[in-house]
């Protein structure tokens, strides 16, 4: 009799384990199906650049920015134009075309100036400031309300003890990057 009770307990335990296993499998299947249904019905768009380009816009054309500033640095136009093109091709889905893009960016470098800053008691400057100004004309063929023409200016300070020619290339890179951020934000992020 004791043997029979042990055998019944063992059978009951085995049956309960099977039932629990089936319940766990069913719950797991329900969870997976629920996740699949939720993920299929929800659409989430992530943008790490903050850009909001209208889906109708497929192309961008960025014209060469000539240097019309009173002081001309030979590499500035090429450096600036290429960096602007790179920003749009790497951070948007837009195709770069030579002319007549759905979005067109053109302009020129209108200012390149060095001024003394932080004048000390002995009437000498502790810092010099390099300022670059660009004029930009933006045309959006899909949404003409976004068209604009605007000047953008950025600067970097450097110690007056340094010769401009020794720091110029790095300053141009930093200022160009800041200007391109401003232009990108105005044209794509709509700031």
Shared-domain flag, residues 88 and 1: no
State pLDDT tens for residues 147-190.
999 999 999 999 888 888 899 999 999 999 999 999 999 998 76
> Considering the domain boundaries, does residue 49 fall inside one?
no
Report field, pTM of the whole predicted structure over 0.85: no
**What percent of the chain is modeled with pLDDT above 70?**
76
Residue at 53 is within a domain: no
In sequence order, the 6+-apart residues with CB closer than 8 A to the CB of 174 are: 156
pLDDT for the residue 44: 40
Number of domains in the chain: 2
Please indicate, yes or no, whether residues 64 and 26 belong to a single structural domain of this protein: no
Q: What pLDDT, in 10s, does the model give residues 79-132?
A: 999 999 999 999 999 999 999 999 999 999 999 999 988 666 666 677 899 999
State the pLDDT at residue 3.
59
Residue 37 lies in domain: 1-44
Same domain, yes or no, for 79 and 168?
yes
Do 15 and 96 fall within a single domain? no
């Amino acid at each position: 009799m004791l043997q029979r009770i042990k055998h019944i307990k063992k059978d009951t335990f085995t049956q309960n384990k099977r039932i629990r296993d089936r319940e766990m499998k069913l719950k797991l299947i329900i969870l997976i199906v629920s996740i699949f249904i939720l993920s299929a019905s929800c659409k989430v768009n992530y943008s790490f650049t903050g850009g909001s380009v209208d889906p109708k816009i497929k192309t961008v054309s960025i014209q060469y920015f000539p240097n019309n500033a009173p002081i001309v640095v030979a590499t500035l136009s090429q450096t600036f134009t290429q960096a602007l093109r790179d920003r749009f091709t790497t951070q948007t889905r837009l195709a770069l075309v030579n002319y007549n893009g759905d979005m067109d960016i053109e302009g020129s470098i209108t200012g390149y100036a060095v001024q003394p800053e932080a004048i000390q008691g002995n009437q000498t400057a502790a810092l010099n400031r390099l300022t670059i100004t660009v004029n930009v004309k933006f045309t959006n063929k899909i949404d003409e309300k976004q068209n604009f023409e605007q000047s953008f200016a950025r600067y970097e300070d450097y110690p007056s003890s340094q010769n401009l020619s020794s720091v110029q290339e790095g300053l141009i890179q930093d200022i160009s990057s800041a200007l391109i951020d401003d232009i990108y934000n105005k044209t794509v992020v709509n700031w």
